[in-house]
Amino acid sequence: MSIQTLLPDPVDVPPIAWPECTLLANPRESVPYPLESLPPILRDAVTEVHDYMQAPLALIATSALTACSACVQAHCDVARDAVLKAPTSLFSLILAESGERKTAVDGLFMRPIHDHDRHHAEIGFANKQAHEAAFEAWETQHKALAAKLAKAAKDGDAKAIEATQKAMEASASKQPKKVRIPSLLIDDATPEAVMQSLVQSWPIGYLATSEGGSFFGGHGMKDEAIMRNLAMFNSRWDGSRSKIQRSKAEPLEVNGVRLSACVMVQPHVLDNFMRSNGTVARGSGFLARFLVTWPESTQGSRQYKPPGAMPALTRLQHIMRDLLDTAPPLNAMNQVDVFTLELSAQGFEVWEEVYNAIESHLASDGEFSDIRDSASKAADNVARIAAVFHSLEGRMGKIQADSVEASAEVVLYHLREVQRLFDGVAVPEPVQHAKALEDWLVIRATVGVPTSVNEILQHHPSRKLRKKESRNAAIELLEEHGRAREFLNGNTKMIELNPAILEVRS
- Close Cβ partners of 261 (under 8 Å, ≥ 6 residues apart): 66, 90, 91, 92, 206, 207, 208, 233
What pLDDT shows up at residue 165? Answer: 85
**What percent of the chain stands above pLDDT 70?**
88
Closest to 59 (Cα-Cα) out of 269, 215, 293, 239: 293
What pLDDT shows up at residue 486? Answer: 93
First to last CA, the chain: 54
Cβ count near 225 (within 10 Å): 16
Higher pLDDT, 340 or 140: 340
Integer CA distances (angstroms), 324 to 14, 203, 329, 332, 384, in order: 67, 14, 12, 20, 18
Higher pLDDT, 484 or 272: 484
Give the whole-angstrom CA distance, residue 431 versus residue 23.
10
The CATH class, in words, for 429-505 is mainly alpha
**DSSP assigned state of 408:** H
Determine the residue type at 441: L
Band (pLDDT 50/70/90 cuts) for residue 129 is low
User: What is the average per-residue pLDDT within 221-228?
Assistant: 73
Give the whole-angstrom CA distance, residue 155 versus residue 162.
13
What pLDDT shows up at residue 213? Answer: 66
User: What is the average per-residue pLDDT within 164-173?
Assistant: 82
**DSSP assigned state of 463:** T
Higher pLDDT, 67 or 7: 67
Band (pLDDT 50/70/90 cuts) for residue 248 is low
- Close Cβ partners of 405 (under 8 Å, ≥ 6 residues apart): 37, 350
Residue 13 has pLDDT above 70, yes or no: no
Summarised one tens digit per residue, pLDDT across range 20-56 is 877 776 667 788 999 999 999 999 999 999 999 999 9
Burial of 197 (0-12, 13-18, 19+ CB in 10 A): buried
So where are the chain's domains?
A: 120-173, 429-505
Mean pLDDT rounded to a whole number for the chain: 86
Residues β-bridged to residue 262 = 92, 208
Counting Cα atoms < 13 Å in the Cβ hemisphere of 500 gives 12
Determine the residue type at 166: K
Closest to 398 (Cα-Cα) out of 388, 387, 406: 387
Band (pLDDT 50/70/90 cuts) for residue 396 is very high
Residue 12 has pLDDT above 60, yes or no: no
Give the whole-angstrom CA distance, residue 441 versus residue 458.
14
User: What is the average per-residue pLDDT within 258-283?
Assistant: 83
> What's this model's pTM, rounded to 2 decimal places?
0.74
Residue 351 and residue 341 in contact, taking contact as beta carbons nearer than 8 Å: no
Residue 175 and residue 138 in contact, taking contact as beta carbons nearer than 8 Å: yes
